[in-house]
Amino acid sequence: MIVAFVATISFVLIHLAPGDPFSAALENPNVTEELRDDLRRQYGLDRPLTEQFGRYAAQLAHADLGWSFSHERPVRAVLASALPNTLLLMGVALFGSFALGILVALVQVARRGSVIDRLLDGLSLVLSSMPDFWFAILALLAFTYWLPIFPVGGAVDAVMHDSMGFGGRVVDRLRHLALPAFTLTILAAAGVARFQRAALIDVLPADYIRTARLKGLTEGAILRRHALRNALLPIISLIGLAFPALLTGAVFIEKVFAWPGMGLTLVSAIGSRDYPLVIGSVIVGSIMVTVGSLIADLLYAYADPRIRGA
Amino acid sequence: MLTPIRGFAALSGAARVALAVLAAIAVVALFAPIVAPYDPAAQPDIVGAKNLPPSAQHPFGTDPYSRDVLSRVIYGARLSLTIGFLATMVSLTLGVAYGAVAGYAGGFVDALMMRVLDALLAIPRLLLLIAILAAWTRLSVGALVLFLGLTGWFGLSRIVRGQVLALKQAEFITSARALGASRRRILARHLLPNLVSPIAVAATLGVAHVIVLEVGLSYLGIGVAQPEASWGNIIHDGSDQVATLWWMSLFPGLLMVLTVMMLNIVGESLRDAYDRR
């Protein structure tokens, strides 16, 4: 349902706009008007919009996203080769950011009101106000130009990768993954930490915490065993919310680091006015977000005994 | 109800400082023609004065077209803040109207309106905007504001609906109805004033969000078009040579982060004040 909705919206909007993939060739005097009309006919762009949409919908029903003009390959093939890279980036960032964010929140609440708490609070505020691409540019400047530790971009070393042994290839991949994954993780962790800190502080006045304290448990044990378990529940719903944010972040971060994933594909498709690829990326992105929130809902139902089995 | 004056009194110290910083940025943006040292679009010497690093004459350096980056950042503040403010106004109007109608109508209408909202919320806002903006190569700023506003009201309308649902049962609404007030009057005179607090929070955080979005889209080259200056397209102009033209990414970005952070501090403080009651 949602997929159909997204597809329709993007299709209508894109075709409302002036220009088509072949009007960019207008600047080239060697391309005649006949040739351009010919190309338009070949790709069916001369047909009425209703017919184009009908054909597009029929294709979509067969999971066929159309033909990418700029890559000269089916959209599905272009996206299929880009998707694993994006999933890798998002997966690392998802686990990394929740682990780091929850840890930071625990430290903050354990030392509530201290210098460390306030310092981390300020840091997470600054980071959560920072757009992904700008933080990525700063990281790029700092760690590839000023302190050249990491490679500038791409997923592997374009020249040397194929001649490396297995170990070398793994190291090469990790070195290229490090910066994009680091920036995405840190930014997402800031949001998680802010959320988790508030959730922990919310459960601290509860009766069962007082009971635990009266039992003579140490503050650390109370925090870890009693407070954290209950405060983890709201964080599961955050996973669903984190998905769109991670995907959005990935679009920008892939552009900055030339990471060959969906985001970079989408951005370059915009540049070459490759509609089928733009629509295809947006549809796949929306599916990812929908699946992400579905997983979060299922996790929530599993984790909360009160709704388990309901 | 949170009137502006009581709202200010409820703000934390940090939020008051943040508000002052925001006011300062707004004043600079407002008087951009007086404050900016150069014309932001002037290209005095495209060969000799391009890509200059920061100096006394050009504190933020110059760009590949020999334009003064400081002047562009100041004019960019004007545009980014205006876009943030206007787009949020559009979202607020739509979100409040939609949420209030759904919450007040209830029943089938409410259920239907909420399902539509679920579908809209499922599309990541950035992807939707990219799909829209990629189609039009040169979009006017007005249209950009409209699209940013049109894609920003879904979350707020949900909050408003929840509030209206809760308030509908309140005694003062029942008494207004008993006194024979019309639906429209109840909505406008009794319900909306009680929604001011959540709306104020959403508006503050909304402006911050729109600024980040606009800067991001302009960075991708599909937001504010040249020769107009926005924080995002200044960074875009320098993005081919990030390492050599570092001043073009650093300074506009710093100002943007400062603005967004101050807005977030004010928004969170407003929310705390409102939660506490």
Give pLDDT tens digits for B25-58: 888 878 777 766 777 776 666 666 666 677 767 7
> Residue B242: which of A9, A137, A290 has the nearest Cβ?
A137
Residue pairs between chains A and B whose CB atoms are closer than 8 Å: 122
Between the alpha carbon of residue B132 and those of residues A6, A282, B168, the distances in Å are: 12, 11, 38
User: Is the model's pLDDT at A310 over the cut of 60?
Assistant: no
Contact A19 B137 (CB under 8 A): yes
> Residue A140: which of B127, B135, B242 has the nearest Cβ?
B242
Rounded Cα–Cα distance for residues A173 and B117 (Å): 41
- Cβ of A271 under 8 Å from any chain B Cβ? yes
In 3D space, the residue among B76, B80, B48 whose CA is nearest the CA of residue B64 turns out to be: B48
Average pLDDT rounded to a whole number, residues A69-83: 76
- The phi, psi pair for B169, rounded to 5°, reads -85, -10
Rounded Cα–Cα distance for residues B77 and B36 (Å): 11
> Residue A134: which of B119, B134, B253 has the nearest Cβ?
B253
Helix axes B231-238, B246-276, angle to 10 degrees: 150
Burial B159-170 (b: 16+ CB within 10 A, else e): bbbebbeebeee
- Cβ of A296 under 8 Å from any chain B Cβ? no
- Cβ of A24 under 8 Å from any chain B Cβ? no
The model carries a pTM of 0.80
User: Is the model's pLDDT at B86 over the cut of 90?
Assistant: yes
A3-50 per-position pLDDT tens digit: 666 666 656 655 555 455 555 444 455 556 666 666 666 656 656 666
Contact B123 A133 (CB under 8 A): no
- Cβ of A270 under 8 Å from any chain B Cβ? yes
| B217 Cα to chain A: minimum distance (Å) | 10
**Which residues of chain A does B137 touch, with a Cβ-Cβ cutoff of 8 Å?**
17-19, 273
Rounded Cα–Cα distance for residues B158 and B153 (Å): 9
Between the alpha carbon of residue B139 and those of residues A75, B229, B230, the distances in Å are: 27, 14, 14
Contact A13 B135 (CB under 8 A): yes
Terminal-residue alpha carbon distance, chain B: 10
**Mean pLDDT across chain A:** 74
> Residue B126: which of A138, A141, A251 has the nearest Cβ?
A251
User: Is the model's pLDDT at A88 over the cut of 60?
Assistant: yes
Q: Which ipTM was obtained for this model?
A: 0.75
> Residue A17: which of B135, B208, B235 has the nearest Cβ?
B135
User: Is the model's pLDDT at A297 over the cut of 70?
Assistant: yes
- Cβ of B119 under 8 Å from any chain A Cβ? yes
Check the CA dihedral A127-A176-A293-B144 and report its sign: positive
Instruction: Find the closest chain B residue to A143 by CA distance.
Output: B243
Contact A129 B126 (CB under 8 A): no
